[in-house]
């Protein structure tokens, strides 16, 4: 740790065993002289493509970070060769990813630039071992969001809008408001066990409470549709709800959370949010077209 935060590596979550030779081969290093199996651990949710070897402190290289005289960390490929040739540390484990606690989480997530103590320079933060899936989690997350918009866009164009435009405006708005009344599910971003503890509060709190306010506004607008102030309230809800979702995307990108930190809530931004934004667009269209939606095409 240092004044900017701390780096932690989880050491009790094994994810399987692999032959050491195949690990090196996956990195483009062919060394048939190495032998043995190595256990792979999940070191944490941040940058799981980066590997670290945590080992007993009698082994030391120029890029080794000593922690307390008994435990050390090395992220050089040479330690793998030494382990495979029985010249490595007496005890070791290989972990992918890390957990970070920082005031500036985005700085830590780009990889540790210093050692675990302020006195030491960091080892090379490049990937140590390639995982089976080489596509970055951020790319998988982006693809999921894009496909969510595409799939719900097809549903909206083929099924939702043809029905909505055939109804009076109030009747068309009603099912959309009912849908948005379920936005209390955003509170899941604040529930431990649903999301990872490392999920930034700068993202989670505005997203959760913004969705809760949107759900309440949707219910109020639904209850007041027949009143004179019903349409202005629908406008207020629609503007707030849209801004809330767009801000969540912006803030998530700003704090730089890892998609895995969302846990079970991963399906909210990838499946639910695209539907909500598309239906916000449909509501804007209904509001702008005036009272007789059926007259428009």
pLDDT tens, residue by residue, 57-74: 999 888 888 888 899 998
Tokens of 74: 């090395």
Torsion of CA 42, 45, 50, 55, to 10 degrees: -40
Residue 279: is its pLDDT beyond 90? yes
pLDDT at 294: 52
Using one digit for the tens of pLDDT, what is the confidence trace for 162-202? 999 999 999 999 999 999 999 999 999 999 999 988 899 99
Instruction: Tell me the domain boundaries of the chain.
Output: 5-109, 137-295
> Between vectors from CA 202 to CA 265 and to CA 178, what angle results, nearest 5°?
45
Q: Name the nearest CA neighbour of 123 among 177, 77, 187, 175.
A: 77
pTM score above 0.85: no
Least confident range from 29-43, 128-142, 220-234: namely 128-142
Q: Which residue did the predictor score with more confidence, 35 or 131?
A: 35
- How would you label 5-18 residue by residue, b for 16+ Cβ within 10 Å and e otherwise? eebebeeeeeeeeb
The reported pLDDT for the residue numbered 66 is 87
Phi first, then psi: give them for residue 78, nearest 5 degrees.
-65, -30
Distance CA 205, CA 37 (A): 44
Domain 5-109 has CATH 3.40.50.970: no
Residue in the structure block whose two tokens are 């428009």: 296
Cβ neighbour number for residue 176 with a 10 Å cutoff: 22
Give the lowest-confidence range in 8-12, 118-122, 254-258.
118-122
- pLDDT (0 to 100) of residue 112: 47
Shortest CA distance to 156 belongs to which of 247, 269, 286? Answer: 286
Distance (Å, rounded) from C-alpha 86 to C-alpha 55?
Answer: 14
> For the chain, what percent of residues have pLDDT higher than 70?
86
Q: Residue 204 CA to chain centroid, in angstroms? A: 11
CB-based contact 52:72 (threshold 8 Å): no
Report how far residue 97's alpha carbon sits from residue 88's, in angstroms, rounded to the nearest whole number. Answer: 22
For the chain, the average pLDDT equals 84
């Amino acid at each position: 740790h240092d004044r900017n935060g701390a780096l932690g590596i989880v050491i009790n979550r094994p994810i399987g065993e692999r032959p050491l030779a195949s690990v090196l081969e996956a990195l483009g290093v062919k060394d048939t002289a190495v032998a043995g199996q190595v256990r792979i651990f999940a070191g944490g949710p941040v940058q799981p493509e980066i590997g670290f070897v945590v080992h007993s402190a009698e082994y030391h290289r120029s890029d080794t970070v000593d922690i307390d005289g008994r435990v050390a960390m090395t992220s050089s490929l040479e330690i793998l060769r030494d382990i495979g040739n029985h010249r490595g540390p007496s005890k070791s484990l290989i972990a992918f990813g890390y957990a970070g606690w920082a005031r500036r989480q985005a700085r830590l997530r780009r990889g540790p630039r210093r050692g675990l103590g302020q006195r030491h320079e960091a080892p090379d933060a490049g990937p140590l071992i390639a995982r089976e899936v080489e596509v970055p989690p951020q790319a998988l997350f982006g693809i999921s969001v894009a496909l969510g918009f595409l799939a719900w866009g097809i549903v909206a164009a083929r099924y939702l809008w043809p029905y909505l435009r055939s109804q009076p405006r109030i009747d068309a708005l009603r099912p959309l408001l009912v849908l948005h009344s379920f936005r209390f599910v955003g509170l899941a971003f604040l529930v431990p066990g649903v999301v990872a503890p490392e999920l930034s509060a700068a993202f989670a709190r505005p997203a959760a409470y913004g969705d809760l306010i949107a759900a309440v506004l949707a219910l109020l607008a639904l209850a007041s549709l027949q009143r004179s102030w019903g349409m202005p309230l629908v406008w207020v809800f629609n503007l707030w709800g849209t801004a809330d979702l767009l801000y969540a995307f912006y803030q998530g990108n700003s704090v730089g959370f890892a998609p895995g930190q969302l846990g079970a809530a991963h399906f909210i931004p990838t499946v639910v949010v695209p539907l909500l934004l598309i239906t916000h667009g449909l509501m804007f269209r209904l509001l702008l077209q005036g009272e007789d939606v059926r007259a428009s095409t």
